[in-house]
Amino acid sequence: AAQMLPILLSGAALLLPLRRTKRVTAPLCSLTTLPSQDGNMSSTVRTGVICDPVLGCRPYEYEDVPILPLSVDITDAALAVFTPLPTPAAYVAMLGKAQQSESTISIIKYGAPWCRSCRALNVPGSRLDMLVAERWPTARLYSMELVRNGKAAGERMFAHYKARNITRLPQVEVYRGSELVEIMHASELIA
């Protein structure tokens, strides 16, 4: 029988099957400790729930998640969730919406799935999460991923990166309305 993970949502308890995943790609939403199968609390299985905008919430085992230093204060603001912009057209549409309100702060994180430094920014409590929480707590967060697979969509994304003069990954751009106000490169983002 598969282990079940109890989740409490709006006062109703749900039991979700527990599956082990190889790596965590979304922010931590909750954390619980379950006793081992023999009921001994000294050997526990720590589990949590990650939420992905596309796949929804799903359980994972805590030991698969990089452990944060004790000095990191985990708050809701520090667990930033970036909305993916799948195409350059989505980027243009996002800037068009932001142009309507000059007080809107938008942050775009450029990365690639093969980039080790980019993956380091996806860990909850990363330097980017802390910067967002401190400097732009009300910002709208977006991300773009460079995937060059020889297909037209991948080549359009590569042309977009090239037009934005993105030569090092990761790179973060901060916009006030539709005006670019700050660019942060990998050296500033990776502690």
| Range with the poorest average pLDDT among 24-33, 78-87, 121-130, 173-182 | 24-33
Q: What's the CA gap between 142 and 103, in Å, rounded?
A: 17
Residue ranges making up the domain that contains 163: 83-189
Contact call for residues 84 and 91 (beta carbons, < 8 A)? no
**Could you tell me the CA-to-CA distances from 42 to 26, 33, 34, 157 in Å, in that order?**
29, 11, 10, 50
Nearest by Cα to 45 from 26, 31, 57: 31
Q: What is the pLDDT of residues 117-150, one digit of tens each?
A: 888 888 877 888 888 888 888 899 999 999 877 7
At residue 111, φ and ψ (nearest 5 deg) are -155, -170
pLDDT digits (tens, 9 = 90+) for 36-61: 444 444 434 455 666 666 666 666 55
Q: Does position 107 have pLDDT exceeding 90, yes or no?
A: yes
* Number of domains within the chain: 2
Q: Which residues on neighbouring strands pair with residue 34, listed in sequence order?
A: 45
Per the CB < 8 A criterion, the answer to whether 98 and 104 are in contact is: yes
Residues 180, 125 within the same domain: yes
Instruction: Please state which of the ranges 5-19, 95-109, 145-159 shows the lowest mean pLDDT.
Output: 5-19
Contact assessment for residue 179 and residue 118, using Cβ atoms and an 8 Å cutoff: no
| Predicted local confidence at residue 92, as pLDDT | 92
Residue 112 CA to residue 118 CA, distance in Å, equals 7
Inside any domain, residue 89: yes
Q: Which two tokens stand for residue 162?
A: 């090239």
CATH number of the domain within which 145 lies: 3.40.30.10
Whether the pLDDT of residue 27 is over 70: the answer is no
Question: Is residue 117 assigned to a domain?
Answer: yes
